[in-house]
Amino acid sequence: MLPYDSLEGAELALGRNLTVAERLWFNYSAHKSDYILYTHNWLFLFLVFSLVPLPWALVELYWFDAVNRFKLQPRVKRSFRELFKCYKDVLHQLIFVVVPLIVVSFPALEWVGIRTSLPLPTKWEVISQLIVYFLVEDYTNYWTHRFLHSEWGYEKIHYMHHEYNAPIGFAAPYAHWAEILVLGIPTFLGPAMVPCHMTTLWLWSSLRQVEAIETHSGYNFPWSPTKLIPFYGGPEYHDFHHFVGGQCQSNFASIFTYCDYLYGTNKGYRRHKQAVKKA
């Protein structure tokens, strides 16, 4: 909850006029507790999960000839029933695992210093924090993912995520409840190390979900703007990991490719690419 009684009080405290964005934030958040604002995270995750995979789902259902050549595993075609079942299964996990996790994690949020007050962060502050979050998440997720591919980790937990050996966008968060809890640590670690504004946290959570959905989309579109990101893995990179399945010891990274390169866990993928090129 903001410590100002009015817009005028906020401007007096800051010593300047509020920007349009800050006025909108004040009008929306002034009388809402930090706890309520934090729980908005679930709403954003629900909207991203429900809406972002839809274009790929429509392509999958109607199999447009113009984009068919971009499908990574063209022999696998999902029906509406399969897509809807995946959506329902993940929605169940969002409601009964993610929502309680958000509810009970609020004290940790307060402890690390996520703020809701004015002023809003500058665009360069937001961009720099997001870069840190993506790098921290990618590195810690890499090692967590490698643990989940140990014999115990895969048989007890990670097997569920690999039920979709030809991944689809809706299956990005499809996982065992324990995996959802464990992989929440890399996602939250960046904001814990470099605390941000609540709006930046919302944006980070949403962008991370969008990235995971694209990576699991099953389509490698050459016009995707993520092609411009250095060392970005993308759908083709992660699709190989799902295609090989539980025995895969390659392509563990969630976002970038440098960890797999540094630690030698991209050799299977490189051999596969060379074989495809020769063929």
- Provide DSSP, the chain: --S-SSHHHHHHHHTSPPPHHHHHHHHHHTTS-HHHHHHHHHHHHHHHHHHTTHHHHHHHHH--HHHHTTBSSTT----HHHHHHHHHHHHHHIIIIIHHHHHHTHHHHHHHT-B-PSSPPPHHHHHHHHHHHHHHHHHHHHHHHHHHTSHHHHHHTGGGGGG-SS--GGGTT---HHHHHHHHHHHHHHHHHS--BHHHHHHHHHHHHHHHHHHTSSB--TT-GGGGSTTB-HHHHHHHHHHHGGG--S---SSBSHHHHHTTTTHHHHHHHHHHHH-
Q: What is the pLDDT of residue 5?
A: 80
Domain hosting residue 24, numbered range: 1-31
How far is it, in rounded angstroms, from Cα 159 to Cα 17? 54
Sign of CA dihedral 224, 229, 235, 236: positive
pTM of the model: 0.94
Residue 114 and residue 212 in one domain: yes
The pLDDT value given to residue 275: 80
- Is 162 found in the same domain as 100? yes
Co-location of 20 and 85 in the same domain: no
Residues 104 and 184 in one domain: yes
Same domain, 141 and 7: no
Shared domain for 235 and 113, answered yes or no, is yes
Cβ neighbour number for residue 262 with a 10 Å cutoff = 11
Q: How many domains does the chain have?
A: 2
Q: Please list the pLDDT of the chain residue by residue as tens digits (279 residues).
A: 677 788 888 888 889 999 999 999 999 998 899 999 999 999 999 999 999 999 999 998 987 777 888 999 988 989 999 999 999 999 999 999 999 999 999 999 999 999 999 999 999 999 999 999 999 999 999 999 999 999 999 999 999 999 999 999 999 999 999 999 999 999 999 999 999 999 999 999 999 999 999 999 999 999 999 999 999 999 999 999 999 888 888 999 999 999 999 999 998 888 888 887 776
Q: Taking Cα atoms as reference points, which of 158, 162, 155, 151 lies closest to residue 176?
A: 158
118: how many CB neighbours lie within 10 A of its CB? 21
120 and 235 share one domain: yes
Same domain, 41 and 133: yes
Question: Do 5 and 95 reside in the same domain of the chain?
Answer: no
In a shared domain, residues 153 and 182: yes
Same domain, 9 and 52: no
One domain for residues 131 and 263: yes
